[in-house]
Amino acid sequence: MLKVQQSIIQIQSILQKSKLNYSSLVVGILSIIFLFPSASQSESISRPFQEFGITDNNIFLYYEDYDAAIKFYDETLGFKPVLTIDTARMYHIANNSYVTAVRGQAEKHNLSSNKPVTFALVTDELDVWRCYLLKNNVTILSDVKMEEASMQQGFVALDPGGYYLNFLQFKPHRKNRKLMSSLNDLKSVYVNPQGTRCGEQKLGVKATIASFYYKDPKSIHKLYKKELGFKTVVKEKHATIYKTSPSGFFRVVDGAHGFHKPIDDQALKKGAMMSFFTNDTVEGWFDFIRKRKDVELRLPKMSDREELKAFAFNDYEGYSIEFDYFPEAKINMDLRKSIKDNADLQLEVGQNHYSSKKPWRGSNKEEKMFFTLGMMNAYAESVRHKAKILGLGEPLTAEETDDLYEYAKMIAESNKVKIYREKELLVTDLFPASITKDRHVILIYIDDTLDKYLKIKADKEKLVKTGKYIGEARKNIARRFGKLLSYKNDVVEEKLRKKLNSE
């Protein structure tokens, strides 16, 4: 709390000089304080979500009458199949969101109507969906009456397996600010179902939220927020929503106050399994989870097949969480195309705080700009207190950098650090070259750190010109840069092993 207060006081002094939007800037500062700990407080990988990333969300649902489930999702809802095997079919729902219907087995899965899971479909066409589902004889429970009615409205429909499909529409509200900001950046994905329509209005879905129900949500929050690094976007009275991909959200619910009550059965007996797609960082996720003593891997080794790399673990109350990577394979062709088509929305992976997206994209340009400045203040504070040697600002276009550079200088002055506008950041095997291509990066430093950085950059250029930028010489450039960024040695070596850069 002291750190928060000090940061707010520090920013207030800048605001008095610059007339910046106070609340937006503080949001950025607070987000970084809680989501990006200083190097001295963290292990070699303290926030795997920021280190390895998640690109898409999927949820596995299990059915006794598999054929009825397939017909429902194919025809009644009109979702697009992207992957089909003998016992399962995966559907693309919205942007980076998927659902997979699985042929259930009574000895393995919960096929009863008592399933502690709700799957929400976020839509701008709430009334149209309700009319359509009623007209096509889908069972609808009484309309949901929210405790804070102004935040959201919706209804629950039952699918053939008795799963709660919660059609939701969120409303502008101070508690929804972060969520609405995310939703405003998303497009609706419109479906073409075979059922009887209510007029000519379209049926779309923007995002999905998977809700799990817990006896001890405080412990669960410790796992997902503090240990895995998931980002909170809504804090409700009895639930918290985490953003795990651009259109995929995960909701932890206090089981004493939700649609469902927690059950004691472990693993797939819960009736669902959460699935997160990654790029080839799935091995990093596996290594991180494997070393933990507080969660249980479902299998001791990661599945490594031609068409899939995956592993799963059970969280503190027995819900299964799976991480998946789908390599190039014939069976994955449609799925990979779907993932690629929505890649412009994906959170960047394997790059710590980096993002190749323009922070000003969308209607809330000012708020995103101040959020970026809040991040910069947090890194400046870390450099000032020597928790980091060199801090890197967000990669920005020249125009974006112009917009905030004077404010950045004020932040640097208040933190007693220096900044340097780098127009061509040193490219090593620590990050893909595409991340900073045609982008400016503000370096944050003290003492002679800039001289050390420029020396590494000059040494690399000399090696490239002489044809010696190969092997250990190439790796050593990356190691020297990683040391300036205060990366642990094992993190650097892991990045070198994966060789993220392919220049």
pLDDT in tens, 31-60: 444 444 443 333 444 568 877 889 999 999
Work out the widest C-alpha separation in the chain, in whole angstroms.
73
**Which tokens belong to 370?**
């101040």
Does one domain contain both 171 and 279? yes
Does one domain contain both 406 and 429? yes
Q: Which range, of 40-54, 321-335, 390-404, 465-479, averages the lowest pLDDT?
A: 40-54
| Residue 411 CB-density burial (10 A; 0-12 exposed, 13-18 middle, 19+ buried) | buried
- What's the pLDDT at 46? 52
- What's the pLDDT at 147? 46
Does one domain contain both 181 and 273? yes
Does a structural domain hold residue 120? yes
Does a structural domain hold residue 327? yes
Does one domain contain both 217 and 339? yes
Q: Which range, of 106-120, 161-175, 182-196, averages the lowest pLDDT?
A: 106-120
Does one domain contain both 84 and 39? no
Mean pLDDT for 121-135 is: 94
Does a structural domain hold residue 503? no
Does one domain contain both 150 and 256? yes
Tell me how far apart the alpha carbons of residues 286 and 137 are, in angstroms, rounded to a whole number.
Answer: 44
Does a structural domain hold residue 442? yes
pLDDT confidence bin for 263, thresholds 50/70/90: low
- Write the CB contacts of 451 (distance below 8 Å, at least 6 apart in sequence): none
Does a structural domain hold residue 195? yes
Residue 266 pLDDT exceeds 80: no
**Which letter, b or e, does each residue of 433-453 get, where b requires 16 or more Cβ atoms within 10 Å of its Cβ?**
eebbeebbbbbbbbeebbebb
**491 vs 276, more confident:** 276
Say how many Å lie between the first and final Cα of the chain, rounded: 44
**350 vs 153, more confident:** 153
- Residue 196's domain spans which residues? 54-345
Which pTM was predicted? 0.63
Does one domain contain both 308 and 197? yes
Does one domain contain both 46 and 61? no
Q: How many Cβ atoms from other residues are within 10 Å of residue 490's Cβ?
A: 12
Residue 356 pLDDT exceeds 80: no
Residue 279 sits in a domain whose CATH number is: 3.10.180.10
> For the chain, what is the mean pLDDT?
82
Does one domain contain both 94 and 220? yes
Please identify, among 278, 312, 345, the residue that sits at the C-terminal boundary of a domain. 345
**38 vs 473, more confident:** 473
Number of domains comprising the chain: 2
Does one domain contain both 383 and 492? yes
Residue 21 pLDDT exceeds 80: no
Please identify, among 314, 345, 376, the residue that sits at the C-terminal boundary of a domain. 345
Residue 388 pLDDT exceeds 80: yes
Residue 126's nearest CA partner among 159, 96, 155, 95 is 155
Does one domain contain both 323 and 376? no
Please identify, among 345, 373, 404, the residue that sits at the C-terminal boundary of a domain. 345
Does one domain contain both 7 and 137? no
